[in-house]
Amino acid sequence: MRDGEQTPGVALTCEEKLWIARKLDEMGVHIIEAGSAITSEGERNAIRGITAEGLDSEICSYCRIMKQDVDYALECDVDSIHLVAPVSDLHINVKLKKDRQAVREMSTSVIEYAKDHGLIVEFSGEDASRADFDFLKSLYQEGIDAGADRLCYCDTVGMLVPEKTENIFSELSRACNVPVSIHCHDDFGLSVANTIAALKAGAGEAHMTINGIGERAGNTSLEEVVMILEWLYDHRTGIKSEEIYKTSRLVSRLTGIPVAINKSLVGGNAFTHEAGIHVHGLLADTSTYEPLKPEVLGRERKIVLGKHAGKSSVTLALKELGLEVDDSQLNEILSRVKEIGDHGKHVTDSDLQTIADTVLNIYRESRVKLKDFTIVSGNQVMPTASVRITVDGEEVVEADIGDGPVDAVVKGIRKAVSGIGDVQLEEYHVDAITGGTDALVEVRVKLSKDGKMVSSRGARTDIITASVEAVINAINQLMN
């Protein structure tokens, strides 16, 4: 298993890249492509930081077929290089402005140079799926003769289909006496299927990324390939699957690339159930509507309440809040839940708590209460927020800065409650409910603490006040 690919618009700090590398290593990823050393001094600093960490994973740098790239990789003390040569006539003639013979000579020379300097070399054919296959095979053989340790077949623009992939890798695995890997892009949504086909046909390695991020439509999703191999083919990968979800969330948070809510395995809805008939089945046996338990991925099952909710859904959700009700109370709570659902809304944890408290005539004292907050912001001013809250009756005043006024005030609140728990903001959404500059806005948030996650909502004409309301409500849910 290999992880690494450049993603447009993503600029991570050295520290952030190190966090991700540590997490990948903890998961059991065998090779981490940490970057391209030729890119910049900042990129080299990040790669050096990763190689200095002493991880178990093999650390690799992307290189072109140029000795200068290898020299920069050597400066970073990497274990290996991913040496990429254009192999389709389109890439050779148009991009490289060379001919096939030049590619042969450049590749052989650089492979020998890298091997002379003690590097593991994975020799990769860029745009291999549009290349002349006989030329590709002969180039691979010359690479092996020059000392290449592994080969890679790149479906650079996602043109493969599984049947063709299987044929290609059956032939390559027979013809080559070194491991051959598959590198797929997802332009047609077939990267995972093609990767599985290649592995079945003899590929010894797969290039993948967390959440499938990468150029254009992205690359092969590591979490999908791992779980397909483990659960559908009964093949042990060595990856610690219970770390997958946490790694997915970390990468999403640091890159700023959200995971689609309906994405398999790690999307927000992957283990979320609303329909009453589904939840009724889950209560009898979770395998009725789940192919695997969420705990396998380090996740938790989530019950969403809306107009499709049934008694089973509400009962299960109330149990998660530590509440037990009789039949008449359950019917009343379900009726109120459906009323909210009929208005096109989902019932958040805070909503359900409020409904249940009202029906059960319970008064629940909030541990965290807002007294006031102040925001300073402008086009020439760093957004700064100060907040005054009470935590368990004691007043706390904190301030922080952020990328905007909402970011600043949320950071201030998190800092103010840090004494009773480390609260993480997992998701933040804003929707305008009405039109105009004075529109009523709804802010929905998901916060987590120690593995527990709750959702909450705030609705005001002031987006900052709505955000504060949602965050405070969610914090009280987490702390109760």
Confidence at 274, pLDDT banded by 50, 70, 90: low
Give the three-state DSSP class for 53: coil
- Whether residue 276 is predicted with pLDDT greater than 60 in this model: the reply is no
Q: What are phi and psi of 126, to 5 degrees?
A: -75, 135
Q: Are 32 and 58 in contact (CB under 8 A)?
A: yes
Q: What is the CA radius of gyration of the chain?
A: 27
Give dist(CA 183, CA 201) in Å, integer. Answer: 14
Say how many CA atoms lie within 13 Å of 69 toward its Cβ: 22
* Token pair 């990497």: residue: 78
- Whether residue 281 is predicted with pLDDT greater than 80 in this model: the reply is no
Give dist(CA 121, CA 143) in Å, integer. Answer: 10
Question: What pLDDT was estimated at residue 435?
Answer: 62
- For residue 181, what are the β-bridge partners? 152, 205
- Whether residue 285 is predicted with pLDDT greater than 80 in this model: the reply is no
- Whole-number mean pLDDT of the chain? 90
Give the whole-number percent of the chain exceeding pLDDT 90: 67
Give the three-state DSSP class for 316: helix
Question: What pLDDT was estimated at residue 283?
Answer: 60
Entry pTM: 0.76
Give the start-end residues of each E strand in 194-254: 205-208
Q: Are 231 and 283 in contact (CB under 8 A)?
A: no
- Residues with Cβ within 8 Å of 129's Cβ and at least 6 positions away in sequence, in order, are 153, 154, 155, 156, 157, 159, 160
* Domain-wise residue ranges, the chain: 3-255, 272-360, 368-479
Q: Is 369 exposed, middle or buried (0-12, 13-18, 19+ CB in 10 A)?
A: middle
What is 82-97 written as a DSSP string? EEEEE-SHHIIIIIS-
Give the three-state DSSP class for 454: strand
452-460 and 424-432 as β-strands: parallel, antiparallel, unpaired?
A: unpaired
Q: Are 296 and 241 in contact (CB under 8 A)?
A: yes
DSSP 211: G
Give dist(CA 173, CA 292) in Å, integer. Answer: 33
Match domain 3-255 to its CATH number in 3.30.465.10, 3.90.550.10, 3.40.50.2300, 3.20.20.70.
3.20.20.70
More confident residue, 286 or 143: 143
Question: What pLDDT was estimated at residue 86?
Answer: 98
Question: What pLDDT was estimated at residue 286?
Answer: 74
Give dist(CA 184, CA 157) in Å, integer. Answer: 8
Taking the chain, what is the end-to-end CA distance rounded to the nearest angstrom?
Answer: 41
Q: Are 61 and 33 in contact (CB under 8 A)?
A: yes
Give dist(CA 429, CA 445) in Å, integer. Answer: 6
Confidence at 67, pLDDT banded by 50, 70, 90: very high
- Count of Cβ atoms closer than 10 Å to residue 205 Cβ: 20
In one-letter notation, the amino acid at residue 262 is N
Three-state secondary structure string covering 60-82: EEEEECCHHHHHHHHHCCCCEEE
Residues 361-368: what's their mean pLDDT? 76
Confidence at 324, pLDDT banded by 50, 70, 90: confident
**pLDDT tens digits for range 218-248:** 999 999 999 999 999 999 999 999 999 999 9
Confidence at 8, pLDDT banded by 50, 70, 90: low
Q: Are 220 and 209 in contact (CB under 8 A)?
A: yes
Residues 116-141: what's their mean pLDDT? 98
150-155 and 180-184 as β-strands: parallel, antiparallel, unpaired?
A: parallel
- Whether residue 347 is predicted with pLDDT greater than 60 in this model: the reply is yes
- Residues with Cβ within 8 Å of 319's Cβ and at least 6 positions away in sequence, in order, are none
According to CATH, the topology of domain 368-479 is Double Stranded RNA Binding Domain (3.30.160)
The domains spanning 3-255 and 368-479 adopt the same CATH topology:
no
Nearest CA to 440 among 425, 455, 430, 427? 430
Give dist(CA 176, CA 137) in Å, integer. Answer: 9
Q: Are 82 and 122 in contact (CB under 8 A)?
A: yes
